[in-house]
Amino acid sequence: MAVLIQPSHDRIEEVSPSRALELQRNGAVILDVRDDHERAIGAPRDSQALPLALLDSNIDTIVADRDRRILTICASGQRSLQAAEILRRRGYSNVMSIAGGFRRWQSEGMPMLESALDADATERYSRHLLLPNVGLAGQTKLMNAKVALVGAGGLGSPAALYLAAAGVGTIRLIDDDSVDTSNLQRQILHSNDRIGMAKTESARIALNALNPRVSIQPIQQRVRAENVEQLIAGYDIVIDGADNFPTRYLLDAASRRLKIPLIYGAVHRFTGQVSVFDARRDDSPCYRCLFPEAPSAAEAPNCAEAGVLGVLPGSIGLLQATEAIKLILGIGTPLIGRLLCYDALAASFRELRLMRDPKCPGCGVDAEFHGYDDLALRCSAR
């Protein structure tokens, strides 16, 4: 059986980055067909950007001369071959593809455009920069964001670690407790050699070791009526990693008054809950729509009394961090008006619709605020 071999003159010629640079210096155009978010991590110097999806319709605005040499480049060298074929069909007669794409261009130290991020940030956040919904603009939002995290324990540990890893610029950690041996079963920010240390300082050490670019603000205080607004004012998001109802009710009231989104999380034995209360939105419920009044200690014992599966706060804290990142980036559908319930034993999630209650004592039409002192007193009494 005869084998049809494509004539060599029909193939797209591939050239090395060094040869491409030489041709560019002699008048060739390097055409970068990656998407905009991919170029955020860098691009060949003096290259022209035209994503592959727009190439066929827009190439005339970049290179009008059908005889000019064009060198296509993408991430690894595959899309650039497709781009070259498109250009050839459009009548461009002198087209080549750069072998290995931008990865090889970068690894061989070819000249590049200055990135808006330095080399460390470009590498550290490279997987974010590749995402169309994040990219350079989104990563910049994360780097400029300020999150106040109340509690450096079971929920705060995974939330803080992932926020720091994501590059959230400022993380304020608010906790008045010290590291105890019993914490280490679930509070992964801490370690055995830091037993007795303030949790906020232990957390700062761990988070700065993970990402020294992030500003960690350890605040060794308990949230109280007299300091709650001061502790969270000026922050973009508050994450509730508290383990007591007085703190939760204070955070709910203060975040509503300051118009700061509050990301709620709670765990009990083998189950957990997550929701988002966003006082900037008229349709968002608040924490007191879910719990109008604090339950008694018998109705809702804390982890020290009821116990908790060690991995469970990891799952819930991770979801809280995810919601925070979504809010910062303005992507996806936040858990506003929804209560996500997780059962670790059944490995199941259940979502409950949480509507804003017009009779809510916190955000209802007739709700009256009598001060943080009154709120804390009533919660503590329960």
DSSP 3-state assignment of 13? strand
Alpha carbons within 13 angstroms on the beta-carbon side of residue 88 total 17
Q: Tokens at residue 68, please? A: 């000019």
Q: What single-letter amino acid sits at 154?
A: G
Render 170-209 in DSSP notation, one character per residue: EEEEE---B--GGGGGT-TT--GGGTTSBHHHHHHHHHHH
Q: Tokens at residue 259, please? A: 């118009």
Rounded to 5°, angle at Cα 229 from 141 and 237:
25
| Residues 92, 71: Cα–Cα separation, whole Å | 11
- Taking the CB of residue 220, how many other CB atoms lie within 10 A of it? 15
Per-residue burial over 71-93, b if 16 or more Cβ lie within 10 Å, else e, is: bbbbbebebbbbbbebbeeeebe
| Residues 51, 74: Cα–Cα separation, whole Å | 9
286 catalytically annotated: no
- Taking the CB of residue 32, how many other CB atoms lie within 10 A of it? 28
Alpha carbons within 13 angstroms on the beta-carbon side of residue 4 total 1
| Residues 48, 177: Cα–Cα separation, whole Å | 55
Residue 54 DSSP symbol: H
Residue in 289, 303, 360, 379 annotated catalytic: 303
DSSP lists the bridge partners of residue 272 as 267, 342
Q: Tokens at residue 311, please? A: 């991995």
| Residues 46, 58: Cα–Cα separation, whole Å | 19
Shortest CA distance to 72 belongs to which of 81, 62, 60, 63? Answer: 81
Q: Tokens at residue 351, please? A: 């979502």
Rounded to 5°, angle at Cα 185 from 180 and 189:
70
Q: List the catalytic residues.
A: 303
